[in-house]
Amino acid sequence: MSLGTILRVSQQDAGQGEIITADVTFGPNYQTNGEPITAQKLGFRVGSELNSVSTSQEGDRGFEYEQDPDPKKRHQGKLLAYEETAGKIGEVLNGTDLSGVTVRVTAVGR
């Protein structure tokens, strides 16, 4: 597990849920198939589900949220990091040091 800090930038109510914007900083040891992230880690008051997560790009890296496919685990998923190497885009290699790489995420959930 290699997520470092999660700094909430804003939080607002949206109907029955919330919208949270946060800066997520990775740590020194990226995990293949993404870093676990949950509604609770992002600071949702109820922490029961993540409906969508959008991410920004950081330099030559891109990021993507992948929802857990189990309907009973709607509160969690993984944050994946991608980069271009030799003209091809692929997931960052296992064990890559992403210390200091920060991505802004906007999450909708409750």
When the pLDDT of each residue in the chain is averaged and rounded to a whole number, the result is 90
**What is residue 106's predicted lDDT score, i.e. its pLDDT?**
94
Between CA 84 and CA 14 the distance in angstroms is 36
More confident residue, 48 or 78: 78
**What is residue 93's predicted lDDT score, i.e. its pLDDT?**
94
Place 60 in a pLDDT band, splitting at 50, 70 and 90. Answer: confident
65 within 8 A of 82, measured Cβ to Cβ: no
> Could you give the maximum distance between any two Cα atoms of the chain, in Å?
45
Model confidence at 41: pLDDT above 60: yes
Instruction: Find the mean pLDDT for residues 54-61.
Output: 83
Model confidence at 23: pLDDT above 80: yes
Between CA 92 and CA 110 the distance in angstroms is 30
Q: What is the pTM of this model?
A: 0.87
Model confidence at 36: pLDDT above 60: yes
Residue 56: closest CA among 29, 12, 84, 23? 23
25 within 8 A of 107, measured Cβ to Cβ: no
Domain locations in the chain? 3-109
